A and B are shown apart, each in its own frame.
Chain A
């Protein structure tokens, strides 16, 4: 079986674990959606319990295994139920509206941060102790600042004080989303500052990791041999040292995707960006359980998919892996 297919199986298992957790949490924790609505409106008669249950579609009859199966079937059909906070909107409709915003912004910003951070890490690791290396403590401070706080400061500086960027939102007021220039330019303009905060806060991590691997790699015999052969410095750095240091970096990238997504959720709240993070927090604070759970599943599945893509890239970049794939 090829590596990619095996990884696919692994992600299916992970997805199943997430689904199962998602199914059992509400059944293990005391209280439920219906009770929370009942407690919010003390005027409701006890008889209203059944009606609310029916409205939310939570009162599944039958054994727990029957419910579990029905739940899996629903998820497979992307039927996540009805939102209570934006009643009567379907959860899947709300998700479809929010997801593209997050994926485009966070995806682009993360790839940029990874590429720039890796490039800086190569430079810093090669000239160990040089100028770039000395700015590392400063970058570490940047890394230790919570995402949202850094975002708040930039927002204050560039949007509130200098008016260079807009204060939050995904696009200008009064615009109708669609494929026309006014909307797209406004959306890009609104995404610049959020993207900048993601890039600036995550760049240090990539740089630090790449630098450390580079330092180890550039001490290897084959790098010394390449230098002894009189190859150009550029060639030694890129095709010998960095080429080999990139593999651990990619593995690190796969492991960090979850963290990147988590940070981005918070970013959306600071900028009131109309993505999945803002939707998640709004759904939690308004006890919209169906929406909360669906968002958790969507985020998890997206992260799993991103991981799979990185796995494909790893196989592509690692000649050993390619050779083994060919012989299998």
Chain B
């Protein structure tokens, strides 16, 4: 239980790192790289739009400014219609990151609510919510997103956020449910139940704080999903094409033949920005994973004892084996899930 508070501190406290050098030093290298890289993007998103050299939509009418390679006047060159790529990039990073984070917050909140509720209520409600989660996991998200957004007339930012958030929760909900099931049977939860705590208080004070590392990981994953999906949607033209996001930049670059004309400065910067943003999030997530499971750490964390390299031992497994008895309808619902395959056969079963 010492792990969870440590992560929460580290994640919220990029600013506190000076005050608490200990936390920073103990962080896995990958997580550090992720925090620094992601921090740079957040900084760019905050400051970037304030320092753009040009208006990103301004189309310079003089023909000499069309499709210019990077120069002193236009650090990242210009587009076909004479727009400044750097300005578009700075504005685009903010819009894309903003969308990713909003979707991440909303979808993670939904995931926590669904997952924790399912695990805590147990029985019929658990199986029903799990069934819904599994159905939404198996329906391919991107085609559904395209169909849903196709019906919104202007395909602006708000519908995109709503639709992405509504389809982004099932993965997180699955993980949260498994973890809650594991925690729910621990002694400290039983103790607080015995002392007469209300259910919502047990959930809010005893259970959720112990899941902070998983919630953080789920949040990072959801942001990754949101950025990837929104950029992909914009790239294929299912977005507000008058706004500047990394996806719409790529859309215009693709549709105006930047590739065939060799204008690498037009499509490489936005693509690289998305890729680096994604890398930062993946690194951050691996770092969080490694904090929870030292076995996954680099060999560098191994220590040499009596001539042999020993890796740090595995701590108590986070996901302890969950064995539940399911009766009646709940058991019936459960038998349709893939995980029912891994259930232990109960005594008397298997005539």
Q: Is A185 an interface residue (CB 8 A)?
A: no
Partner-contacting stretch, out of B16-24, B102-110, B191-199, B231-239: B231-239
Of A212, A251, A280, A324, the contact of B345 (CB 8 Å cutoff): A324
Which B residues are in CB contact (< 8 Å) with A156?
259, 264
User: From residue B282, how far is it (CB to closest CB) to chain A in Å?
Assistant: 5
User: From residue B35, how far is it (CB to closest CB) to chain A in Å?
Assistant: 15
One digit per residue, 1 when the CB lies within 8 angstroms of any chain A CB and 0 when it does not, for chain B 308-346 equals: 000100100000000000000000000111101110010
Q: Is A222 an interface residue (CB 8 A)?
A: no
Asked if residues A29 and B341 are in contact (CB atoms below 8 Å), the reply is no
Which A residues are in CB contact (< 8 Å) with B141?
258-259, 262
Asked if residues B137 and A3 are in contact (CB atoms below 8 Å), the reply is no
Which B residues are in CB contact (< 8 Å) with A311?
338
Question: For chain B residues 263-310, which have a beta carbon within 8 Å of chain A?
Answer: 264, 267-268, 271, 274-279, 281-283, 286, 295-296, 298-299, 302
Q: Is B81 an interface residue (CB 8 A)?
A: no
Asked if residues A299 and B345 are in contact (CB atoms below 8 Å), the reply is no
User: From residue B234, how far is it (CB to closest CB) to chain A in Å?
Assistant: 11
- Report if A129-B147 is in contact (Cβ < 8 Å); known contacts: A146-B232, A315-B341: no
Residue of A nearest to B250 (CB): A149
User: From residue B303, how far is it (CB to closest CB) to chain A in Å?
Assistant: 13
Of A14, A155, A318, the contact of B259 (CB 8 Å cutoff): A155
Asked if residues A327 and B259 are in contact (CB atoms below 8 Å), the reply is no
- Kindly state the separation between the CA atoms of A257 and B141 in the bound complex, as whole angstroms: 11
Asked if residues A262 and B341 are in contact (CB atoms below 8 Å), the reply is no
Asked if residues A265 and B142 are in contact (CB atoms below 8 Å), the reply is yes
Partner-contacting stretch, out of B51-59, B149-157, B179-187, B206-214: B149-157
Partner-contacting stretch, out of A49-57, A68-76, A300-308: A300-308
User: From residue B11, how far is it (CB to closest CB) to chain A in Å?
Assistant: 19
- Kindly state the separation between the CA atoms of A155 and B271 in the bound complex, as whole angstroms: 14
Q: Is A78 an interface residue (CB 8 A)?
A: no
Asked if residues A14 and B143 are in contact (CB atoms below 8 Å), the reply is no
User: From residue B281, how far is it (CB to closest CB) to chain A in Å?
Assistant: 7
Q: Is A255 an interface residue (CB 8 A)?
A: yes
Which A residues are in CB contact (< 8 Å) with B282?
140, 143-144
Q: How many A-B residue contacts, CB cutoff 8 Å? A: 182
User: From residue B272, how far is it (CB to closest CB) to chain A in Å?
Assistant: 8
Asked if residues A3 and B271 are in contact (CB atoms below 8 Å), the reply is no
Asked if residues A152 and B147 are in contact (CB atoms below 8 Å), the reply is no
- Kindly state the separation between the CA atoms of A296 and B268 in the bound complex, as whole angstroms: 31
- Kindly state the separation between the CA atoms of A100 and B286 in the bound complex, as whole angstroms: 38
* B interface bracket (residues with beta carbon within 8 Å of A): 35 or more
Asked if residues B302 and A129 are in contact (CB atoms below 8 Å), the reply is yes
Asked if residues B267 and A152 are in contact (CB atoms below 8 Å), the reply is yes
- Kindly state the separation between the CA atoms of A3 and B342 in the bound complex, as whole angstroms: 11
- Kindly state the separation between the CA atoms of A202 and B264 in the bound complex, as whole angstroms: 25
Asked if residues B140 and A261 are in contact (CB atoms below 8 Å), the reply is yes
Which B residues are in CB contact (< 8 Å) with A147?
232
Q: Is B73 an interface residue (CB 8 A)?
A: no
Asked if residues B336 and A307 are in contact (CB atoms below 8 Å), the reply is no
Q: Is B47 an interface residue (CB 8 A)?
A: no
Asked if residues A144 and B279 are in contact (CB atoms below 8 Å), the reply is yes
Asked if residues B139 and A25 are in contact (CB atoms below 8 Å), the reply is no
User: From residue A134, how far is it (CB to closest CB) to chain B in Å?
Assistant: 9
Q: Is A141 an interface residue (CB 8 A)?
A: yes
Which A residues are in CB contact (< 8 Å) with B283?
137, 140
Q: Is A105 an interface residue (CB 8 A)?
A: no
Of B274, B311, B314, the contact of A149 (CB 8 Å cutoff): B274
- Kindly state the separation between the CA atoms of A324 and B342 in the bound complex, as whole angstroms: 10
Residues of A in contact with B (beta carbons under 8 Å apart) = 1, 3, 6-7, 9-11, 13-14, 17-18, 21-22, 25-26, 29-31, 36, 128-129, 133, 137, 140-141, 143-149, 152-153, 155-156, 160, 167, 212, 215-216, 219, 251, 254-255, 257-259, 261-262, 265-266, 269-270, 280-281, 284-285, 287, 289, 292-293, 295-296, 299-300, 303-304, 307, 311, 314-315, 318, 320-321, 324, 327-328
7 A-B pairs closest in CB distance: A129-B299, A144-B278, A262-B142, A149-B271, A327-B350, A258-B140, A29-B151
Some 6 contacts from A to B, beta carbons below 8 A apart, are A129-B302, A160-B259, A219-B295, A284-B146, A296-B143, A299-B143
